[in-house]
Amino acid sequence: MQKIIIQNQKEKLEITDIALGAGQLGNADRSSECYKILDYYIEMGGNCLDVARAYANGACEEELGRFLRLRKARNKVIISSKGGFPLERSSMHLSRLSKQELTKDIEQSLKALGTEVIDIYFLHRDDCNIPVEEIMSILDNFVKEGKIRTLGASNWTAGRIGLANDFANANLLTPFSASQINWSLALTTPPLTGDITHIIMNSTEKGWYQENAFPVMAYSAQAKGFFTKYFSGNKQKLSGERSYLPLSINIHRAERLKALSEELKLPMSVLLLSYIRSQSLPAVAIGGFSSLEQAQESLTAESIRLT
């Protein structure tokens, strides 16, 4: 896998351009399979594990912490975690970005993960009613305390990231060094995903990332299995059906994806990850796998680049 550099004034991280979304670790019935996937990902040279305080009510981070202790693998990986997520899915408009709330999330994440520092810490959501000056000052304190190495913004618009970084750089604070955004070959919109706080990659967002060579980690990079399920006839996930099926352009893209898959004799899952990694900006595809076999199939993407 190739490396993407995520850097601020003091820290430089080199992460592989396929990150492993470890969200399924929170399911106790899935632990054995998840451990096999984690082992294989690291064996293949992957080094970035993406979790969040909100996943499985904290159980995801706890299980990842157990895995890292059992494998003595903390120094082999870069941990990407997120905090500041609203308390309820039904109340996504109620943010949790106060110093008290963020401190609670970070302390709980550090304890669950069994680490003294989180390598990349993303704010899981934004609140445009809170000035960036207030948010960046709070986050900089966590960096100075040694709890966080680099900062990221998840589901923040490029405009807000730019404002935040302008303030941080002008005041010698730690800026955001990466962004997580909803991005895949399939198109969608926040209303279709069912969460209006989602930020979706579009031409405006992409233009800013390209102009600033700003690193992006794409979540939902495999479009929640939409394409493979469309052709296999298997039942779509509700989130995938709702997010992608209403837009006819995604059916056209599905047909083109299938044709390319047959021409190159490569699984569609490989092409979906390669689509993100072949962009004209520093991009990491976050892959999520439900089985070791799926991971083994998809991670052959590490050698594929698309024009």
Quick: pLDDT tens for 37-78. Answer: 999 999 999 999 999 999 998 999 999 999 999 999 999 999
Q: Which amino acid, one-letter code, is at 253?
A: R
Q: What is the pLDDT of residue 301?
A: 67
Q: What is the pLDDT of residue 94?
A: 81
User: Nearest to residue 63, comparing CAs of 107, 102, 18, 33?
Assistant: 33
- Say if residues 76 and 42 touch (Cβ distance below 8 Å): yes
Give residue for tokens 């509700």. Answer: 238
Query: CA 142, 148, 150: angle at the middle one, nearest 5?
Result: 115
Q: What is the pLDDT of residue 67?
A: 96
Q: What is the pLDDT of residue 131?
A: 97
How many whole angstroms separate alpha carbon 52 and alpha carbon 109?
A: 8
CA 243 from centroid of its chain's CA atoms: 18
User: Nearest to residue 77, comparing CAs of 32, 26, 39, 122?
Assistant: 39
Cα separations (Å) of 128 from 48, 65, 134, 235, 266?
29, 33, 11, 37, 42
pLDDT digits (tens), the chain, 307 positions? 889 999 988 899 999 999 999 888 878 778 899 999 999 999 999 999 999 999 998 999 999 999 999 999 999 999 999 999 987 777 777 889 999 999 999 999 999 999 999 999 999 999 999 999 999 999 999 999 999 999 999 999 999 999 999 999 999 999 999 999 999 999 999 999 999 999 999 999 999 999 999 999 999 999 999 999 999 888 888 888 999 999 999 999 999 999 999 999 999 999 999 999 999 999 999 999 989 999 999 988 677 889 8
Structural domain boundaries in the chain: 3-300
Q: What is the pLDDT of residue 179?
A: 98
**CATH tag, 3-300:** 3.20.20.100
CA 22 from centroid of its chain's CA atoms: 10
Phi-psi region of 199 (alpha: psi -120 to 50; beta: other; left: phi over 0): beta
CB contact set of 89 (below 8 Å; sequence gap of 6+): 195
